[in-house]
Structure 1
């Protein structure tokens, strides 16, 4: 028996194999379908997707064979990865390299072997797509071509795996980054908010209007930063499919009024007030935390982009028997028609607002819409005409 030599690029080949992160993973239908088809086309009982590790060959797919790996020194595939084209052994018992190989003389009794090297764009043959039989055989030209084409499909799956690995790494890095932001920014911002409250209380006792006004500005800026942190964290949870939803019976008018009171500080620097056009109670089944987030985003946006000395109006329409319509209207810069569809896209910010220095990442409205849809509702831009902009939140009763 003659073991195969190592490829000249063995170190970098093994590095790419490790980076692929396929070794010792579960079976996958995409690979199993290819080996099933290869065995059918080549009329063999066994077909494998074999990956050549440092000291073993491991089978990502093993049609017709129970084993998941064998020693590399015995592997026919270790010879096949040294080739540029398909590697065929028609009768291993008559080949000096394999006649006394334990895989030939014992189970699984490999007599016929044909393997296509799975060579990536980097030029590394990571393994093979191979077919095996327990009797001597040959491949027709059509079978050779088909096996090569199927091998190319396996390599394409490798490339998809790499792309997926890269996306996961980016997602993990972003998650670590946002967790760090959550800890490193949210904690000091909350502490600062507490100190500002204490300073404001002391200023009120002294009737120090200048300090009170300064605290209002500082608290508004602090709350905007906290909002940005919340938006980034929510978007990460959404990307990971981890947005929770815990519905209960809530009274809409009270919840809106409470949220408006929480946002009142944001409006003080621009002297923007809230007006709730509804005293009618209306209970719906919704997640109170998610509803507060939606209204907080809508109201903070109305302040951020609203005119000074204006009023943000919140109206509740309960005439429809199936839905409740909540409108948030503010006076400010009109949203152009060509931007109406873009404002719900993640990270989109109008150039005029980016230039004006208004803080934001373009996440507030996309998150608010996601949260509305999570509860079976919808958030849309109803109109933006003559400096009056109205957003419509429609919820099921």
Structure 2
């Protein structure tokens, strides 16, 4: 994958504006279905950003997150075809990974890219096992269809977010948007029927219960689209779920990035001021911006270090700015590197524990901040600290 395509891939993923910690209920049935079809112990629905592989749904394992460089799916998203590794312990890329050398001692891997309609790989659907396996062409076709279903659901989530963000236009465009949503939703129901038909032919009776769940889910979503067309007010009640206040943003950041900090034995302290605690503001792109900065801080902070995140609202006349300050006591950034980041031309560096960088995390941050008409300041002293201060108009 070229560097240009990788940056565009990250932009495409950021357009979905996903909260990775809240997606399990959306995709758990599909992870279970993939494992049933393959007859495998483990199946994962993985989304991959600049730093992290987020397993947003899993069968056979708890949902987890890991450094992107450690993930087999990182190789899957670099291609257009499925990737199969017969024995991870015999592949020099993976034989020393923790999930191969230790519990759960995985050996077999098969993964297919989750490719969106614009051709960008957002992540991968994979099945894994402690024993080597042979997947029939019929089972491979079924698993790839499940992967397409995952992308359909991501498209639905994206459409709904766009609808929420453009509330003023919704009054005039609600019928068109609902019609657009009905397309992929109808595809879900049709896909389930195809899989059920093929499942019957292949005597995969144990997957039919999951198929029926998908059909029921798809039909429920079709009914929701119909309701949007009939009753705008009912839909708008859900708009509050797309808002943060300082406390809920603090809790979400702790939930998403606390595990990364613990894995590296770093203290992650997130503090929100009590001022304007009742004020709510849109979630749009905030997790992508703050998450990338926190991940970068964790990458360049030594073990036993500290990453501090301060959140506050600043009132100017009748408007509010969200101020985000992320400070670490890590390796620091040179003045030349700061200039590269501010200009959007930063390149990758290796982390304190040898983590590979993919070069675009802070470039993406700058791009998203500019898109929200915000500002970015960076202060640093090499060997002592780095402080990112982001200011974004939110209300």
State the TM bucket, normalised to the shorter chain.
0.3 to 0.5
TM-score (norm 1): 0.42
**Structure with larger RCO (C-alpha < 8 A, sep 6+):** 2
TM-score (norm 2): 0.42
Return the index of the structure with the highest Cα Rg.
Answer: 1
